[in-house]
Structure 1
Amino acid sequence: MFSPRLKIGSYAGLVAAVFGLASYRFYEHSGPQAAPSKEQVLVGTIVQGLSQAHYQPERIDDAFSKRVFELALKRLDYRKKFLLQADIAQLTKYQTDIDDETKRGTHEFLDLSTKLMADRSKQMQTLAHELLSKPFTFDADETIQTDFEKATFPANAADQREQWRKLLKYETLTRVAEMMDEQDKRHDRSRVASLAKEPATIEPDRTPAQMEVEARKRVLKYYDEQFADQPDPNEVLANYANVIANTYDPHTEYFAPRDKQEFDIQLTGRFEGIGATLREKEGLIYIEDIVPGSASFRQGELKKGDAILRVGQGATEPVSIEGWH
């Protein structure tokens, strides 16, 4: 599982490479019936495109492979809380083979890293539920490494469990401290209101033990949401493609079709979902242009400059979109 791609502010190095996949010949297939997988086509197309279109193309060799490996590993588990050192040892076998995989049209490193991360994520979710089911005590003198650059991958399952215990305890304590601060502020507001003889909302105080229970619930909710937000296979592939692209330079990125559409909308303020280019102006949505051959073009009712006031589908009541952005 690779972590989501960071937003970038400069797109000077963005390469938009479009290739006819039907005539794609990057790979040497084992036989006339061998059809390239989506992973083969995408990774191969990106490497080929960057090799031809990037202003400073890379040599696809072991040095390139090592850089891809290091960046992929960093994004795979940047907090170093999921993978064990034994997992890293398995993945390290591929650190000089990614370039060869690209040329062969295989993706063993991607497959293994995805599987390891998925398996460990399930295990850590179970562990988090177990650790957060019991109260923490805060009377022991313990330390936790919060600088992930200085952290190390757990040596074994016992080491990993201890790291997670400290992490969840730390996050629980942080939330308890926040609740205590908020309760103190509420007391201050009540005193000010009392001196001013103004009515004040009286909320019952919570004990530290009650706060600890609530804090563990919040931490568990947070992590359950994180565990549930797992990338689908297309997102995993897109993230890996971005690792390869970012190895060239930080501003070179791959956009999956949906990401490309979102990027275009953010860049231009336009949306072409109905076969018409739309633009928002002063709270109204206007037709900027009609895409030739689209549904709007064939219908013939929409014209450039028209304002869209309400939208509906089928027999549903049209909904006003005035004021939408």
Structure 2
Amino acid sequence: MLLLAVPLWGGVACATLNEVEVDALEPTREQRQAALLTLRLVERYHYKRHDLDDAMSSDILDRYIESLDSNRSYFLQRDIDRFEIYREHLDEDLKEARLDPAFDIFKVFRQRVDERITRALGLLEGEFDFTQDEAYRFDRSDAPWTVDAAAMDELWRKRVKNDVLSLRLTKKQPDGKKIRETLRKRYESIRRRTNQLSAQDVVQTYLNAYTQTLEPHTAYMSPRVSENFDINMRLSLEGIGAVLRSEDEYTVVQQVVAGGPAGLSGKVAAGDRIVGVGQGQDGEIEDVVGWRLQDVVDRIRGAKGTTVRLRLLPEGADESKIKQISLVRNEIKLEDMAAKRSIIEGLDAMGSLRIGVIDLPTFYRDFGAYTAGKEDFRSTTRDVRRLIKELTAQGVDGIVIDLRGNGGGSLVEATELTGLFIPSGPVVQVKSSDGELEVEQDPDPEMVYGGPLAVLVDRSSASASEIFAGAIQDYRRGIIIGEPTFGKGTVQTLVDLGRYVRVNGDLMGRLRMTMAQFFRVNGGSTQFNGVTPDILFPTAAGSEEHGERGLENALPWARIDAADYLPRKIDNIGECRQRHLARI
């Protein structure tokens, strides 16, 4: 299983294998229809109310340009100046389904890519003076646009020189001829993959420049992306168990999924950059720097039981620290993701205390077996209920639910799991885009465990994890320990645009849209701020920008009226906090 986080141009999925003629880059009638449908559905049903006006038009233009050239390595300042004619008019253009500005800008981008790659290939034919003291700026996302072609030539001279030096430092390719061949393939791949982008890809990128001005979880999926999504769900292709995203010209591991080959290996970490992919034990490692996300994914996926080799560049490291690993493709098995128990005892200052720990990697539910009417279907709540009984039978003095790294899952399971620890009452409130409020209640009046309880969270605990932790905190049923959580408190729905047209529905694509938001029973949202622990662990530098807090245009924290619930009283949280601070 391989999950995808697909941002704008870097993640445009599976373009045609043939290069597209420039004259073929024109919007079709169906693509204009898709744009209108996307606009109308978002305006009517999106959770965030907004006006498509001149100010939003300006944001769309900036985001579209950024999605094409995020590192400011292709467009010249004069290109940006020319695009200013669109700044206050894209709103009217979208309302009339005029997509010409998107294609005009993309054609200029394609021309600039061709110019730069031609220049880079020429530079590979010469030699570089590494005794000269020079600096190259890797991250140019905030740099000024390059003023002219001469300045761009100088920028790329330093880039190519840096690429050559980086490969020398890896000690894997000391031979100059091999280094130049690797870079030649890399640069030609950038041009080829840019020229393979079709009108569908241009429309998808442009419409996502619009949707992403609202918030980061709403996105348009072109017909080709939609088709690949369906194929991937049907075929017996497996992956490494990781969420990937594009960042500049790298494919970056955003999250390692519990129970997958990557997670079980212990060799892959969030933030790692995938710079090479090879098939089998001895297949050639392909350099994938500059590749589109979907193309890297296609190399990583394969038949279950086969081997894929990855070259990984750890976060913050230079290319001398590249490591190579082998993983066997496999599905993520429910058993590997299932809740597990253990007992902690005998540590310093514990005395005779025995603490039961339930490790919960995700909120899972076997919906297939449930829909089929099987009474013994597997679920988080059923497994945790059993583990609680086993731990209490062994005489534990308290239980810790470990949600670190748990990115969420089934809302039903988050609600029912909470019910194991409270007598009855509301668990979470869901507010839709039309203002209607639905309160999810504990469905079972039985409280399975009423003893001392703690919930362990970290910055990757998200969505359903935050619903559970927030409810336990609001009811004062236990103490929350760890880092502030991810802050994912919104609900998305997938809409097939083809259902709104009479003909050619398969050419419309789909829209993933945010239509609701979660609120705790105390009235506060889990969105953006997440859940702040009662016992707060020290966090790494930059952690305040992790999760929703690090995403552009993320919906802010909000509050509604509290639900009708009865919290308990915990007397010793202040004392626990003081002891914790004393240890630090």
Q: TM-score, normalised by structure 1?
A: 0.61
After TM superposition, give the deviation of residue 90 of structure 1 in Å. 0.8
8 Å CA contact 1:40–1:107 kept in 2: the answer is: yes
Query: Residue 241 of structure 1: CA displacement?
Result: 1.7
SS in 1 for 2:219: coil
Greater RCO between the two (CA within 8 Å, min separation 6)?
Answer: 1
1:233 equivalent to 2:225? Answer: no
Give SS of 2:50's match.
coil
Q: Equivalent residue of 1:78, what SS?
A: coil
**Contact 1:135/1:213, CA 8 A, preserved across alignment:** no
CA distance in 1, matches of 2:202, 2:108: 13
Alignment of 1:85-124 (within 5 A): 85-124=77-116
1:243 aligns with 2:235: no
CA distance in 1, matches of 2:212, 2:153: 33
Residues 118-127 or 153-162, more deviating: 118-127
Residues of 2 paired with 1:91 and 1:97: CA distance? 11
Q: Is the 8 A contact 2:54 2:91 kept in 1?
A: yes
Cross-structure match for 2:75: 83
TM-superposed CA distance for 1:6, in Å, is 7.8
Matched, 1:44 2:36: yes
Q: TM-score, normalised by structure 2?
A: 0.35
The amino acid that maps onto 1:222 is: R
Cα deviation per residue 1:278-310 (whole Å; 9 max; x = unaligned)? xx999xxxxx99xxxxxxxxxxxxxxxxxxxxx
Q: Which residue in 2 is equivalent to 1:254?
A: 220
The 2-side partners of 1:215 and 1:225 are apart by 15
Aligned to 1:214: 178
Distance in 1 separating the partners of 2:223 and 2:31:
15
Asked whether 1:134 is paired with 2:100, we answer: no
Aligned match of 2:10:
4
Equivalent residues of 2:76, 2:147 under 8 A apart: yes
- Going from structure 1 to structure 2, the CA distance change for 1:213 and 1:121 (only over 3 Å counts) comes to same
In structure 2, distance between residues paired with 1:219 and 1:281: 35
User: Is the partner of 1:105 in helix, strand or coil?
Assistant: coil
Deviations 1:29-81 (A, max 9, x none): xxxxxx98334222221111100111113201011111111111111111111
- C-alpha displacement of 1:214: 2.4
Contact 2:64 2:209 in 1 (8 A): yes
Counterparts of 2:159 and 2:123, CA distance in 1: 10
Q: 2:139 matched to 1:144?
A: no
Contact 1:50/1:57 (CA < 8 Å) preserved in 2? no
Do the aligned partners of 1:65 and 1:98 also contact (CA within 8 Å) in 2?
Answer: yes
* Inter-partner Cα distance in structure 1 for 2:95 and 2:223: 24
State the SS of the aligned residue for 1:247.
Answer: coil
Match runs of 1:240-319 below 5 Å: 240-264=206-230, 269-270=233-234
Which residue does 1:316 correspond to in 2?
A: none
Cα shift readout 1:214-271 (whole Å, capped 9, x = no counterpart): 22221111111121112112111112122222222100011122322444566xx446
Name structure 2 gaps, 5 residues minimum.
1-7, 14-26, 236-330, 334-370, 373-584
SS at match of 2:52: coil
User: Which stretches of structure 1, 4 residues or longer, exceed 4 Å deviation after superposition?
Assistant: none
Q: Which has the higher strand share?
A: 2
Q: Deviations over 1:165-186 (max 9, x none)?
A: 000100110001112xx48xxx
Question: Which AA in structure 2 matches 1:255?
Answer: M
Q: What residue number does 1:72 align with?
A: 64
Structure 2 SS opposite 1:128: helix
Asked if the contact 1:242/1:253 (under 8 Å) is kept, the reply is: yes
Percent of paired sites with the same residue: 25
Q: Structure 1: 5+ residue runs without aligned partners? A: 8-34, 184-205, 272-279, 283-287, 290-325
Tell me by how many angstroms 1:91 deviates. Answer: 1.0
Higher helix share: 1
Q: Which residue of the partner structure matches residue 157 of structure 1? A: 149
How many residue pairs get aligned? The number is 220
Displacement of 1:213 in angstroms is 3.2
The answer to whether the Cα contact below 8 Å between 2:64 and 2:206 also exists between their aligned partners in 1 is yes
Distance 1:81 1:245, change over 3 A: same
